[in-house]
A and B are shown apart, each in its own frame.
Chain A
Amino acid sequence: MNKNDNVLLLVGSPKGSSSTSNSLGDSLISRLEQLGLTVGKEYIYKLVRKEEGQMKLLTKVEEADLIILAFPLYVDCLPAGVIKALELIADHRKSKRDRKKQGFAIIINCGFPETQHNNTAVVICKIFSREVGFEWRGALSLGMGGSIGGRSLEQRGGMVRNVIKGFDLAAQALAEGKDISEEASELVGKRFMPITLYTKMGNLGWKLEAKKYGARKKIKDQPYL
C-alpha cells in the first residue's frame, strides 16, 4: 500500500467503543498508522439503522483502500447489524462498474475458549469479499474474547503476548499490501490460558454478575414455561 492509502476500521459490535472488537480493531489500526497509513473508524450499529447512516457507510467504504471489519461472533455467525452492512455494501457495489482495488480483512472474537467456533463466520466473510470484488487479505480470529473484555491488548499484558506479536506481523503485511500470514493468524489464535481455567472463571463470572442484579438464584429460571 502507499503511504496515502486509507484504512477504514468498521467496528461490528453493538457495544461500540466499549467492545472487545473495538479494542482489537484499534490495536491493528494504530499499528497501521504508525506505519504511515491514514486510518479512520466507524461503528456499524450507529450507521445501519437509518438511511443517512447507511449512505455514510457506503461512502466511507467506497473511499477506503483497505477495509478492516472487527466483530464478535453471535450465534455461530456475524451479528445481524454486520450482515445488514454487508448486504448494503453488496447491493451498492452491484451497480458500480469501475471498482478500484480494495483490500478486506477481518478481526473476529468469540466468548468460547476455542477459536474454531469462528470458522463459519470467517468463510462467510471470505465469500462476501469474493462476491463484492474485494481482495481478501485474511482473518485474525480469537477465542476467549471474554478475557479481553474491551480493554486494549497492552492493558492485558503478558497473557496476550502472542496476539500482540500476531497483530505486529499482520499490520506489517497489510501495510505492504500483502495478505495476513498464516504465522500471524496462528499467533493470534493461540489460547491465553487453559480451557478449564477459562470456563471456570467464566462460570464464576456469570454468577457474580447475576448476584449484582439480585438474580443469582434465578439464573436457571424458565420464564416461558
Chain B
Amino acid sequence: MKALILDGTKSNNTESVMIFDLMLEELKKLNWEVITIVLEDKDIAYCTGCFECWVQTPGECVIKDFEESVVRDMVHSDLIIYLTPVMFGGYSSILKKALDRQIGRVLPYFMKINGEVHHSKRYEKQQSLLSIGLIDKRDTEKEEIFKTLVARNAINMWAPFQRAIIYLKGEDVSEFSDSFNNALMEVEAIL
C-alpha cells in the first residue's frame, strides 16, 4: 500500500507540522509505504493552460520541473493525501499549483459519469483521495465547500474513495486521529 502526502502548507506553521507528523506515524503503524512532498520547497511552475499534456506529449506536461515527479508518484500511489490550510473554502495556492499540473492523469475525451460530463481515465489504477483542511475557526460555509471541492476532485480524477477531514487549530488531536484512521481503514477495505 503506497500513500503520497502532498503538503501544501507554509513551513512556519507548527500545527500543520504536528498534523503531518501524526499522519506519517499512523500510516507507518498500518504498514503504508509513504512518500512525502513538501510543495513549498519545490520548483513547480504554474500550469500555462496549453493542454499539450493531452495533445502533444500525452500524459506528460511539457514543462520539465519537479511536477513530473509529483505526477509519477501520484500514478503509482493507492492513496493521495492533501494537507492544506482552508483558503476561502478551497486549497492553498501552494497545493493548487501542483494539482493544476496533474490533468495529464486523465484523457481529454469527454464522457458522462452519473449524467454529468467529465474526462475519461488514462490509467486503470486509481487513487483514493484524503484531503486534510486546517482551519483557524469554525466556519460552516467554508468547511462545507471544502468538502464539496474534494468530492468534485474525486469524481474528476476517478478516485474510488474520498474523504475531507477538517482540523480546527488548537483542537484535541485525538478526534482528528480517529477520523484519519477510520478513513485509512475504508481505503484499505477497497484495495
In order of increasing CB-CB distance, the 5 nearest A-B pairs are A84-B93, A80-B96, A206-B108, A83-B93, A80-B97
Q: B38-55 CB contact bits vs A (8 Å, 1 = yes)?
A: 000000001111011011
Partner of A215, one of B46, B47, B57, B153: B57
How far does the Cβ of A222 sit from chain B's closest Cβ, in whole Å? 6
Partner of B88, one of A131, A212, A219: A131
Partner of B141, one of A114, A127, A215, A224: A127
How far does the Cβ of B164 sit from chain A's closest Cβ, in whole Å? 12
**Chain A residues with a Cβ closer than 8 Å to the other chain, count:** 51
Cβ of A78 and Cβ of B90 under 8 Å apart? yes
Cβ of A127 and Cβ of B110 under 8 Å apart? no
- Please list 18 pairs of residues, one from A and one from B, whose beta carbons are closer than 8 Å in the complex, sorted by A's number: A15-B48, A45-B46, A74-B47, A75-B96, A77-B90, A77-B91, A79-B46, A80-B46, A80-B97, A80-B100, A112-B116, A114-B116, A195-B117, A199-B110, A210-B54, A220-B107, A223-B59, A224-B71
A114–B126 CA distance with the chains assembled, in angstroms: 25
Q: B71-112 CB contact bits vs A (8 Å, 1 = yes)?
A: 110011000000000011111110011011011000111100
Cβ of B110 and Cβ of A76 under 8 Å apart? no
Q: Which residues of B contact A223 (CB under 8 A)?
A: 57-60
Q: Tell me the nearest residue of chain B to A206, going by C-beta.
A: B108
Cβ of B93 and Cβ of A81 under 8 Å apart? yes
User: Any chain A CB within 8 A of the CB of B138?
Assistant: no
Contact-residue bracket for chain B = 35 or more
User: Any chain B CB within 8 A of the CB of A23?
Assistant: no
Cβ of A75 and Cβ of B90 under 8 Å apart? no
How far does the Cβ of B166 sit from chain A's closest Cβ, in whole Å? 15
User: Any chain A CB within 8 A of the CB of B11?
Assistant: no
User: Any chain A CB within 8 A of the CB of B66?
Assistant: no
Q: Which residues of A contact B109 (CB under 8 A)?
A: 203, 206
Given contacts A80-B93, A120-B149, contact A75 B58 (CB under 8 A): no
A13–B49 CA distance with the chains assembled, in angstroms: 8
Cβ of A120 and Cβ of B57 under 8 Å apart? no
Partner of B156, one of A49, A76, A114: A76
Cβ of A124 and Cβ of B47 under 8 Å apart? no
Partner of B149, one of A49, A77, A195, A212: A77
How far does the Cβ of B148 sit from chain A's closest Cβ, in whole Å? 5
Interface residues of A in 57-113 (CB under 8 A from B): 72, 74-81, 83-84, 86-87, 90, 112-113
Q: Tell me the nearest residue of chain A to B73, going by C-beta.
A: A224
